[in-house]
Structure 1
Amino acid sequence: MVSSTNFEEVVAVDAPHYGTKVTKYRSKVTGLSAVVVDLTVPVVHGYFAVATEIHNDSGCPHTLEHLIFLGSEKYPYKGVLDTLANRAFAQGTNAWTDTDNTVYTIETVGQDGFLRILPVFVDHVLYPTLTDAGCYTEVYHVNGEGEDAGVVYSEMQGRENTPGDLMDLASRRLLFPEGNGYRSETGGLMAALRQLSVQEIRDYHASYYVPQNLSLIITGNVDHNALLETLQNTVEQTIIEKGAPDLSTWQRPWVDSPAPLPLVESKTATVEFPEEDESMGELMISWLGPSCNDNLTCTALDILGNYLTESVSILEKEFVEIEDPLATDISFYTSDSTTSVISLYFSSVPTEALENVEKRLHELLQELAGTGFDLERVHMFIERDRLKTLDACETSPHYAFSTPAITDSIYGSPSGETLTDGMNDLKYYDVVRTWSSADWISLLKKWLIDNHHVSILGKPSAGLVKKLETEEKERKDKRRQELGESGLKELEERLEEAKETNEAEIPKGVIESFRIPNVEGIKFIEVDTARAGIADSKGFDNEVQKHVNADGSGDLPIWIQFDHIKSEFVTISLYFSTTNIPARLRPYISIFLDSFFMNPLYLPDGTELSFEEVVQALDADTVEYGAWLGVGGGWNEIACVRMKVESKKYEKAIAWLKDLWTCAKMDEERIGIAVSKSQNDMPQQKRDGSKVSWAALQMLQMDAEKSTARAANILTQDKFLDALEEKMEEDEGMEAVLKDVEELRTLLFRGENLRVHVVGDVLRLEKPSSAWVKFEIPSGSKGVLPVPLSRDNLTEQGKNPKGSATVVALPSIESSYSVHVTKSDVHFTHPNLAALQVLFTYLDTMEGILWKYIRGSGLAYGADLRIEPESGFLYFSIYRSPDASKAWTRAYEIVQEFKDGKIELTQTMLDSAKSSVVFNYVSGEGTPASKGAQSFVNQVLREESKDRVKEMLKKVQAVTLDDLKGPAMDYLMQLFDVKRSDTVAVSSPAKAKDLEQAFAKVGFNVAAHTLDDFE
């Protein structure tokens, strides 16, 4: 402990089940709190939580989430925080705003950079500049064309009229009374943001951004004494100089506010959302629940929610797993608040059935109260939830521990009692395990039957699409008319002045004085690799390989890689090449994988298991399971089937995987349900502008005859599913479809297609390799097929982009999105890969050049450069923009200035970019589980060593300014060359014509499309 400090230890919590310790400190002078979660991992996470309560829709909490990054009193320069963070082995900073809190985050490799950036970050949070110019560009302004803009405004423009946001706000308006903060749209409604003043924001900050309302939650490997010394000597000293707060008069947000009264009646409301396709709606039912500090009741409600919605539950069987599904998914969740909100959400409900589904739900709850609970199923859910909690602490430890700490900072007791309780939550599983059926009925009645509810029926409306377009156009036209040319010119000049003020150069000395940590000090997670079967095990001389060899599996005709980590669980991944699947069968892949674990089994001994029995047994034996296309964000021509179990169930997992492949059979009922669910989900999928832009691009890039990824694309599936439904209406057609699915299964399940990856405590497994002897798989060769790559399945346009621009009108969105692509020869071992990564990071990192001139100017919420060595594509994408063509044009100008030397390349920024690349690499292997998964990706898919990250860091550190000006710059210019790149842009119909004209003007060959045009 530091010899002299204002910080006192409030509580130290041992969490033996998780193998960690949690310690809370608080300053007796300023009230500033710090919570440290000790984790043995290479990355340190900081979550700086401010409890925020507001009683209007102005969006003040959200605006501050953005504005604090524009400079502080000690560091009065926009972007200095992110610029320095990039030199701390971080990749900038981040933040989020919830209804009751705003949390500022940073992740650094190691504690050195973290402890140096911490005082800078706290200074920004507590003492931001909050200038007029910053508010003008970042929150809201009108540009020189009379259009609404601003980063915050653009973000909310993309959110405000989505089904989820509309329904959530409507629900909270009915759940909570006037004057209660939970009613507010803390993101800010567009109409309110247009009226918000900078003084209102300053006043709000002065009220809530005070040290006693700030909690610094730190997860990772941090020396407590070093942390306390930093807090005492730097952070605390600054606060005291400003004037220590009077802690005796402090009123805590939420905790000291009046609690809402119970509802006196149930309420139902209909909310329309803009959508041309009026076939599918959404349904949300909510109840006021217990306090988030009532951990026992909250745990029980989580179990109840699983019982109702998972593993072929009563709700799944009634609404989802039926011939004509009344929902594609049902989710149950509770909020963390003084009075929590319990919600059931039904996705993709046929619009005409919304009222009936809502009514039938309440009938089913009453029926369950009458029949009672199946305690065997209840206990299965309790055990599975317990295992998932333990697993989360291995796979996502920062999130798993920061979440209860953030909640405690807002609602917890000052003594640390609630923090102690929250960190030892496993004990509540033991309590609810003793409950009788009557206890569960009592819980159900208290919270979901006798408790009044609010039901929100979300209905799609084509009329609302037109109404919003008309209102927006009329408002803009009126404004332009009122302002006239001179008024618009004044607005443009004001915007340029604000930008100039914001972009005051950060003194070189400020940046250079922030020393970059030493790469040599990074503590990497190590894994040991072994192989068995037909996989080449040469060169793996370690204890794990000896253990596998000693198991003696003989001539095992399967390719297997083991990666040994410390874990209570083992993950088995089966990776199948889809290369040999004929084109006519490829579109079935989505239905096949989506329903892989949900088919009846016909076992060799004559036992038959219904799909319900299969799912229930799987849930009892596993922690998680799933099937999908793609590996680690790439390799989309590979199908993955994965199962995670406790280590002691390793052999049982192998048996399950064998039976699911060889004994399952999709029948008429299951294929019908699978097709209907996928069809019903399509309208929701096609409302996502970003998803549609990438899907449309893939349709142009990938060869329909060769690419399974293209066959699984939502635009392919949309038409395929409709045709399939029509085909299945005839007996012959149904028979042909079932035959096709079984043929797909047979063609996939072959030894030459399969690579097996096992991650876990391999030394604990008694039979790591011989357990696979019973996993009999047909094989036509003694080896495995090469890893399939996207670059081998391209169309002529994909191979050679030549300046096409496809503009897609999407009625459900108000913002615009675009993706721009060029084809390169860059691959994983390409000599210019490191330089290109550094160059792209130099440009698009937080407070990099693109960030400043695009996001900082309100042209888009996000603008990102991306390298995809697996396909050879280089991408530039624009996310949630008022006008994607303007954002692209500005990016094009910036890149040209960069190439011509008008924007200077500096050593300082190069060092910062390299630091961010270091974080990117190390954070990707930030836990033992992720390191184990990456071992397969590195050694098998990339064909490099398991220590690829260490090798790449050496190459990154060697990149010079001259390297950025060489071939790497050529690749960048190619991406912005109209003759050598292609574009897909998605926007509302009202803006589509403007995008078409703008992209045509700069030289693209433009084609206008709707989603129906894609084949």
Structure 2
Amino acid sequence: MKLNEVIYGFRLLKETEVPEISSKGYEFLHEKSGARLFFVENDDDNKVFSISFRTPPKDDTGVPHIVEHSTLCGSRKYPLKEPFVELVKGSLNTFLNAMTYPDKTMYPVASRNDKDFQNLMDVYLDAVFYPAMYEKKEVLMQEGWHYEIESPEEPLRYSGVVFNEMKGATSSPEDLLDTEIFKGLMPDTPYAFESGGNPEKIPDLTQEKFIAFHKKYYHPSNSYIFFYGDLDIEEKLKYLDEEYLSHFSRIDVDSEIPKQKPFDGVKRVVKEYPVGAEEDTKEKTFLTWNAVICDAEDYLTKSGLSVLTHALFETDAAPLRQAFIAAGIGKDVAASFETQLRQSILTVEITNAEEKDTERFYEILQTKLKELADNGIDRTLLEASLNYIEFKVREEDSGRIPKGLVYNIAVMGQWLYGADPARALFYEESLKKMREGLENGFFEDLIRRCLIDNPHQLLVTLRPSTTMAKEREEHTAQLLAARKAAMTKEEIQDIIDTTAHLKEFQQTPDTAEQLAMIPLLKLSDIRKNAEELPLEEKDVCGVKVLYSDVDTHGIAYLGLYTNIDAISEELQPYAYFLVSVLGGVDTKEHNYTELTNLENLSSGGIAYNLTSFSTKRNEKGWDAKGTVKMRALVRKLPEAAKLLKEILTGSVFTDKTRLKELVAQSLASAERGILNTPNQLMAQELASHITKAGAFDEKGGLPYYWFLKDLSEHFDERFDELSKKLTELLPMFCSRRGLTVSLTVSGKDYDSAVTALKPLLEGLPAKEFPKARREVIPEKANEGFMTSSRVQYVGKGGDYSKHGYEFTGSMRVLESIMRYGYLWTKLRVQGGAYGASAVFYRDGLMMFTSYRDPNLTETLDVYDTIADYIRSFTASDREMTKYIIGTISTVDMPMTPRMKGDTAAQLWLRGVTYDDRQKARDEILSTGIIDIQKLAGLVEACMKDNNYCVFGNEEKLTEHKDCFTKLVRVME
């Protein structure tokens, strides 16, 4: 195509070569409908499509979020109740979701299969342009909110998926902070409103406002269509024009995102967040300084601030971080730079602080920034942070998320505000200017311009409240009681009838004819063989090396798996602390700030951990290892390996002040984990009562938090013991005895990598330590963990191997049936929980879990009905095919070079062979109704074991205290 040429209604506006990602960008405009389209062409077979809309909220009802959920609840071509779920069940997608942002809503899909990719696109496009929510009032009730009551005597209550999701979100201080920061910094813009929805305001959303929002914003003239990968763009343009866009005429959509006018000076806001009624509120305040930095299109400033944020706040060498900790303000420092907005926002956060320190926090910040601007920033510090940021940009490792989606989100951060969409994909020019900036004062100027002389600043103090949680619930209860009292008998009966109608609607299955409307692949479209992951067993310096020959584009990925059998149960919490501080304490050659800079200069990061896994490689059936993961450019591997050797063999633990800081930081980090990921802790606690590996890992969860809390409170008297134990543990953690190494690097770089690694391997301690007695015995329990959360996380599980069952691929298919069938319907659709899942592991562990769940005993009751459901399970051939394909999509997720090497090594360590994986794949592909029904006894036996765990609202758990053998208040 030539510039300005029109094909299938699309005019080509611009072509751009993007050498950074070996791609070419094409910007189009569909002239009749006004739809914008950007195509990133390259040879990646993991194709991405998305359609996004600018959706600025005008209130806190969460209408952008609820519409995002609701568009996927049936459409013109696909008149099912939930086409999204049917797609997930039977698609080979590598990504399928929808996301609400503060100013946009995105509907992205990805797949490596051409036919599947086309199917996904069509269902999504029909959903956003022709949703069934216009006619079906049940959609808003289910996905947003509704009154619920089943008899005149019951109290009135709210329910709804988004309502309960946001009750969970607003239990988190981090989410509440984000809300207050946006509201405080940008009060005259749509960012002042909660696009996700405030549970107190969600019930203000009416059907009329709900429909009006969609009608206004979900028009092609307000859309941004994105394609990425190896695909026939002309075919896609033709399809878009003929099937959708040509049916719309261009209109003016008032969706512009205005800029916030700068403030005259720093603003101050004090708010509260809920903690447990009996929780100690000392040192539980969050302090944040926030500033609006620059417009979306100022790419160089955004790039520079990303480096500055890392250099000044995020590493152990960061001068602002050091200044706050030295002043005794809070226990930990975090910083974030949000660039996916009309105006970018920098946030500096102090955790575990006191409200009285707010002004001192601000004064130290400003004083230190002026000092750095006037005297200059340490060149090594800046270069180290620039190297770290550059490494991440060039590595392009987005894990399970398709690269194309990462680029899509980056593009939207420019395109949505009228800037060139391709600009977000370039980085060489910015890197070059920043390299030059190391010498010409660029970064010092950024400090003056963006952080000191910038009047657009906000201080938010978020303090704990022991009464807020109860007051919120009481307020809602009183409000609902008053509304019910004001209702006539006829109005109450109408709600009862509406509740019954909604349940009937939810329980009525789609017809076979409706289900058949969702396009479906054939089993013949699926690869029959499991993916082969390259792995060769080598010997280097007498150490077993698991080598994966993968094209890593000049990067080496190193993993050390150490034998930690010498670490006793008593030493285990100290070992968790050890792995959290390695690289953060002095060595015999460098202090910890020098180490931090050296790590960022020579590598892309080093991580240390303890982990357990089931394995066929020993009689116990499980093993625990110390792990060290490092990534570095091959040409820098000698420096990185030398540094790692220094840390593993030369770390010293005699600096009392530093260790006290690290205990406080670790405690603060553990508390954030409890507040932000209660679902993970719930699953960890549940697993600890089922398998030995789970019992080992649990020691790094809540028990480790309690260990840190005690250590912090008695640090002075326990310092000598701590120093001694860490010194004792270090050689146990990194001994060569029993060491296994994984190395992932391109074949041409193998020899260079091995040469660099030999001094490291030869330098590790070779002493053999006596094996410690470690009693790991899972014990059945029904535990309740009380928090200030407004929702629950409910899990129940068991060990099926103890009941005589062995792992089969059919269990993976049952996971899909549960996750997107029975549990989805019972817990999400009917129960109002945000999510539910089922997992069956090879070692015998199986679990059912719920996420942001308003219920407790009702969910446990659902788990106990699963066996009966499985026993009578039936499905058409089409439905079984759908579940099998959906299962394979989770098995065949694309892997980055790093993930291929990691996965190959993990499989080897667990003793899982290619034949094992092929057998499971064959079983998945051949799963039939009888195979699923045979699993009923397994599930029934595990449910009768009666192992369950609940994290949730203190009042709710106390109300059901008879369900638990133990109730624990997580934070006191």
TM-score by length of 1: 0.86
Aligned partner of 1:329: which letter?
Answer: V
1:531 matched to 2:537? The reply is yes
Tell me what 1:655 maps to: 642
Contact 1:94 1:106 in 2 (8 A): yes
1:313 matched to 2:313? The reply is no
Whole-angstrom CA distance in 2 between matches of 1:659 and 1:937? 26
Whole-angstrom CA distance in 1 between matches of 2:250 and 2:463? 51
Change (3 A) 1:284 1:168: same
1:918-997 pair list within 5 angstroms? 918-923=888-893, 925-945=894-914, 952-966=920-934, 968-975=935-942, 977=943, 979-996=944-961
Change (3 A) 1:3 1:478: closer
Tell me what 2:425 maps to: 423
Name the SS for the 1:78 alignment partner. coil
- Which of 174, 185, 189 pairs up with 1:164? 174
Change (3 A) 1:597 1:781: closer
Contact 1:49 1:104 in 2 (8 A): yes
1:805 matched to 2:782? The reply is yes
Higher mean displacement: 872-881 or 341-350:
341-350
Tell me what 2:591 maps to: 610
Tell me what 2:160 maps to: 150
- Which of 568, 575, 579 pairs up with 1:593? 579
1:19-70 residue CA offsets vs partner (Å, 9 max, x unmatched):
2333333322223333333455554333321111122112110110111111
1:141-290 pair list within 5 angstroms? 141-144=146-149, 145=154, 146-178=156-188, 180-236=189-245, 239-240=246-247, 244-247=248-251, 250-251=252-253, 253-254=255-256, 257-275=257-275, 276-279=279-282, 280-290=284-294
Unaligned 5+ residue runs, structure 1?
A: 534-552, 603-607
1:466-865 pair list within 5 angstroms? 466-478=470-482, 490-502=494-506, 505-512=509-516, 514-517=519-522, 518-520=524-526, 528-533=534-539, 556-602=542-588, 608-630=589-611, 637-669=624-656, 670-688=658-676, 689-697=678-686, 700-701=689-690, 708-713=696-701, 715-725=702-712, 728-730=715-717, 733-774=718-759, 775-776=761-762, 777-779=764-766, 794-797=776-779, 801=780, 804-810=781-787, 812-825=788-801, 832-845=807-820, 848-865=821-838
Contact 2:599 2:640 in 1 (8 A): no
Contact 1:469 1:990 in 2 (8 A): no
Give the deviation of 1:324 after TM superposition: 5.2
Name the SS for the 1:528 alignment partner. coil
Change (3 A) 1:401 1:227: same
Contact 1:860 1:882 in 2 (8 A): yes
- Which of 12, 17, 23 pairs up with 1:14? 17
Change (3 A) 1:892 1:282: same
Tell me what 1:36 maps to: 39
Give the deviation of 1:891 after TM superposition: 4.6
Whole-angstrom CA distance in 2 between matches of 1:92 and 1:974? 35
Tell me what 1:440 maps to: 443
Contact 2:785 2:951 in 1 (8 A): yes
Name the SS for the 2:90 alignment partner. coil
Change (3 A) 1:430 1:273: same
Whole-angstrom CA distance in 2 between matches of 1:932 and 1:665? 32
Name the SS for the 2:724 alignment partner. helix
1:307-365 residue CA offsets vs partner (Å, 9 max, x unmatched):
21133111121124x49562323213133333222222223334443442233212211
Whole-angstrom CA distance in 2 between matches of 1:692 and 1:488? 41
Aligned partner of 1:990: which letter?
Answer: E
1:62-82 residue CA offsets vs partner (Å, 9 max, x unmatched):
110111111112222211243
Higher mean displacement: 135-144 or 913-922:
135-144
Higher mean displacement: 187-196 or 662-671:
662-671
Contact 1:578 1:708 in 2 (8 A): no
Name the SS for the 1:657 alignment partner. helix
Whole-angstrom CA distance in 1 between matches of 2:327 and 2:612? 32
Give the deviation of 1:200 after TM superposition: 0.4
Name the SS for the 2:742 alignment partner. strand
Aligned partner of 1:957: which letter?
Answer: L
Whole-angstrom CA distance in 1 between matches of 2:955 and 2:214? 38
Give the deviation of 1:258 after TM superposition: 4.0
Give the deviation of 1:473 after TM superposition: 4.0
- Which of 897, 900, 922 pairs up with 2:872? 900
1:617-660 residue CA offsets vs partner (Å, 9 max, x unmatched):
11111112211233899989332211111111223322222221
Change (3 A) 1:29 1:961: same
Name the SS for the 1:984 alignment partner. strand
1:703-762 residue CA offsets vs partner (Å, 9 max, x unmatched):
79x95423322x2123322443465424xx433321211211122222233211111223
Tell me what 1:605 maps to: none
Aligned partner of 1:974: which letter?
Answer: A
Give the deviation of 1:273 after TM superposition: 0.7
Unaligned 5+ residue runs, structure 2?
A: 616-621
Contact 2:79 2:514 in 1 (8 A): no
Aligned partner of 2:777: which letter?
Answer: T
Tell me what 2:296 maps to: 292
Tell me what 1:1011 maps to: 970
Change (3 A) 1:36 1:420: closer
Aligned partner of 1:988: which letter?
Answer: N
- Which of 116, 119, 133 pairs up with 1:116? 119
Contact 1:46 1:217 in 2 (8 A): yes
Change (3 A) 1:348 1:20: farther
1:159-205 residue CA offsets vs partner (Å, 9 max, x unmatched):
22432232222222232244x21211111222221121011011010
TM-score by length of 2: 0.90
Aligned partner of 2:822: which letter?
Answer: I
Name the SS for the 2:12 alignment partner. strand
Give the deviation of 1:278 after TM superposition: 1.1
Contact 1:282 1:348 in 2 (8 A): yes
Give the deviation of 1:859 after TM superposition: 2.7
Number of matched residues?
941
Aligned partner of 2:933: which letter?
Answer: K
